[in-house]
């Protein structure tokens, strides 16, 4: 691997880390923020709708913006908006203003949704250049960011450090790191001419049945990950009787399991292939969610979160990698599948919040369990996907060379 690609990969690791740090800083403080806002579970669902709406606006516009301007400007704008959003959330918390918190979450979702689609296109291109999986490790750095943010959040919750100041500090840390990292990205990647945008393969990927199957799998796996990111501390507090600090600690367990799964996933991909890994991930994650829902035990619930995190770890990055290899115009394919995944961030938080308000947050997770079951079945469809031209191997066989 030459030095330029190595620096580019390192920059993407940092750019994936920062949104993980931001989202977990928010998640671990949700019990405190909920109490300071005086919000019910349904009202928190509406606050979280700001995150969902911003995410969807970002991802729905990201593909066209990448095609017009390339990935680097979109990554730059997205990561800076994400970094600036956390102080807004903190200010809304300090003022006990739910609308301001929702506005901050909207900005976070807007930046993360647009920036991460472009970063996934970057990651898929790096995979192509070095001919081995990189997206799982990049998403591993997102999870590593969630571990770092969750550990800090758990500690600061335990010592009653104000959530508003906590979120301000996260924003101040993130901005200079983001500005340094985006300088390592190449100009022009993903940009296409206006003629290509109107007649090229990007317009035809929507009609590829296999790509739509991959999109459905991503939607289910992203919801499994997003449900934990949005609701896990509150599930532990309201559904299993943990206090706020221990609820945050359980989220740290989930984030650590996600990180472990993503950094060790390459060996399983090499041995079993994408289709089997995706199916097994859905099953393992489903077992973890089922135990959290069904078993009325704090010990079992905390342990089950390990399975939940391990199961959710590889779904999104592996499916994106599969999408990039599924045919011509990989940038358009990755963008489409990433968009399908982020749909989970639109429907997930408010839908699960309203279900939780009526049936309890634990029971609301049955919807996640059902989608994971569907994903496990659909993963078998991927066995028929052709391998990348550079490898010419069946999907279920080795997918990289080390």
What is the model's pLDDT at position 384? 57
CATH code of the domain containing 269: 1.20.1250.20
| pLDDT (tens digit per residue) in 68-80 | 888 899 999 999 9
What is the model's pLDDT at position 401? 32
User: Does 194 fall in a domain?
Assistant: no
User: Does 394 fall in a domain?
Assistant: no
User: Where does the pLDDT of residue 145 fall: very low under 50, low under 70, confident under 90, or very high at 90 and above?
Assistant: very high
Angle at 78 between CA 60 and CA 227, to 5 degrees: 65
Using CA atoms, how far apart are residues 376 and 351, in angstroms rounded to an integer?
Answer: 22
> Is 397 a residue whose pLDDT tops 50?
no
What is the model's pLDDT at position 337? 82
Percent of the chain with pLDDT over 90: 37
User: Where does the pLDDT of residue 100 fall: very low under 50, low under 70, confident under 90, or very high at 90 and above?
Assistant: very high
User: Does 375 fall in a domain?
Assistant: yes
Q: How many domains does the chain have?
A: 1
Q: Taking residues 270-278, what's their average pLDDT?
A: 87
The phi-psi region of residue 381 (left if phi > 0; otherwise alpha if psi is between -120 and 50; otherwise beta) is alpha
| pLDDT (tens digit per residue) in 325-363 | 777 766 677 777 877 777 776 677 678 888 888 888 899
User: Does 390 fall in a domain?
Assistant: no
Angle at 140 between CA 152 and CA 189, to 5 degrees: 120
Q: Taking residues 142-167, what's their average pLDDT?
A: 89
What is the model's pLDDT at position 1? 59
| pLDDT (tens digit per residue) in 55-72 | 878 877 887 888 888 889
Domain enclosing residue 332, as ranges:
3-185+204-384
Q: Exposed (0-12), middle (13-18) or buried (19+): which is 71, by Cβ within 10 Å? A: buried
User: Does 288 fall in a domain?
Assistant: yes
User: Does 197 fall in a domain?
Assistant: no
What is the model's pLDDT at position 129? 85
| pLDDT (tens digit per residue) in 105-142 | 999 999 988 888 789 888 888 888 887 878 888 988 98
Q: Taking residues 145-163, what's their average pLDDT?
A: 89
Return the axis-axis angle of helices 41-69 and 209-234, rounded to nearest 10°.
140
Percent of the chain with pLDDT over 70: 89
User: Where does the pLDDT of residue 170 fall: very low under 50, low under 70, confident under 90, or very high at 90 and above?
Assistant: very high
What is the model's pLDDT at position 345? 64
For tokens 């740090």, the residue is: 21
What is the model's pLDDT at position 356? 84
Highest-confidence range of 89-93, 147-151, 357-361, 381-385, by mean pLDDT?
89-93
What is the model's pLDDT at position 14? 95
- The two tokens of residue 109 are 């979702």
Using CA atoms, how far apart are residues 237 and 231, in angstroms rounded to an integer?
Answer: 10
Determine which of 130-139, 141-150, 151-160 has the lowest per-residue pLDDT on average: 130-139
User: Does 379 fall in a domain?
Assistant: yes
pTM: predicted TM-score of the whole model, two decimal places: 0.75
Average pLDDT, whole number, for the chain?
Answer: 84
Residues 6+ apart with CB under 8 A from 198: none
- The two tokens of residue 182 are 């985006």
User: Where does the pLDDT of residue 398 fall: very low under 50, low under 70, confident under 90, or very high at 90 and above?
Assistant: very low
> Is 387 a residue whose pLDDT tops 50?
no
User: Does 269 fall in a domain?
Assistant: yes
Residues 6+ apart with CB under 8 A from 361: 41, 231, 234, 235, 238, 239, 352
User: Where does the pLDDT of residue 233 fall: very low under 50, low under 70, confident under 90, or very high at 90 and above?
Assistant: confident
What is the model's pLDDT at position 388? 40
Q: Exposed (0-12), middle (13-18) or buried (19+): which is 149, by Cβ within 10 Å? A: buried
What is the model's pLDDT at position 212? 84
Determine which of 20-24, 212-216, 312-316, 396-400 has the lowest per-residue pLDDT on average: 396-400
Q: Taking residues 361-368, what's their average pLDDT?
A: 91
Alpha-carbon distance values, 243 to 237, 246, 303, 359 (Å)? 6, 5, 17, 21
């Amino acid at each position: 691997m030459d030095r330029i690609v190595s620096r580019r990969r390192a920059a993407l690791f940092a750019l994936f880390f920062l949104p993980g740090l931001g989202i977990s800083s928010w998640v671990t403080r949700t019990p405190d923020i909920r109490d300071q806002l005086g919000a019910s579970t349904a009202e928190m669902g509406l606050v979280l709708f700001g995150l969902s709406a911003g995410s969807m606006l970002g991802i729905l516009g990201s593909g066209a913006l990448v095609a017009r301007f390339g990935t680097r400007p979109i990554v730059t704008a997205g990561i800076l908006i994400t970094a600036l959003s956390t102080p807004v959330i903190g200010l809304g918390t300090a003022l006990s203003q739910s609308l301001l918190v929702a506005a901050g979450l909207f900005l976070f979702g807007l930046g993360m949704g647009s920036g991460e689609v472009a970063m996934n296109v970057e990651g898929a291109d790096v995979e192509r250049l070095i001919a081995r999986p990189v997206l799982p490790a990049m998403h591993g750095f997102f999870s590593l960011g969630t571990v770092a943010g969750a550990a800090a959040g758990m500690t600061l919750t335990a010592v009653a450090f104000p959530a508003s100041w906590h979120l301000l500090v996260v924003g101040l840390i993130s901005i200079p790191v983001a500005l340094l990292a985006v300088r390592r990205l190449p100009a022009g990647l993903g940009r296409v001419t206006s003629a290509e945008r109107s007649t090229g393969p990007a317009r035809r990927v929507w009609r590829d049945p296999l790509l739509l199957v991959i999109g459905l799998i991503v939607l289910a796996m992203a919801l499994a990950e997003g449900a934990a990111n949005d609701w896990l501390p509150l599930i532990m507090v309201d559904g299993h009787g943990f206090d706020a600090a221990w609820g945050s600690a359980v989220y740290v367990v989930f984030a650590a399991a996600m990180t472990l799964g993503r950094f060790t996933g390459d060996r399983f991909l090499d041995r079993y292939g994408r289709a089997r890994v995706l199916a097994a991930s859905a099953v393992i994650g489903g077992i973890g969610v089922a135990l959290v829902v069904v078993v009325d035990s704090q010990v079992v619930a905390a342990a089950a979160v390990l399975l939940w995190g391990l199961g959710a770890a590889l779904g999104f990055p592996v499916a994106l990698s599969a999408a990039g290899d599924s045919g011509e115009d990989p940038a358009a394919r990755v963008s489409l599948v990433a968009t399908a995944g982020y749909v989970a961030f639109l429907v997930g938080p408010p839908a699960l919040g309203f279900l939780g308000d009526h049936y309890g947050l634990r029971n609301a997770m049955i919807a996640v369990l059902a989608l994971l079951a569907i994903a496990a079945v659909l993963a078998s469809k991927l066995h028929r996907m052709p391998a990348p031209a550079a490898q010419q191997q069946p999907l279920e066989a080795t997918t990289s060379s080390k």
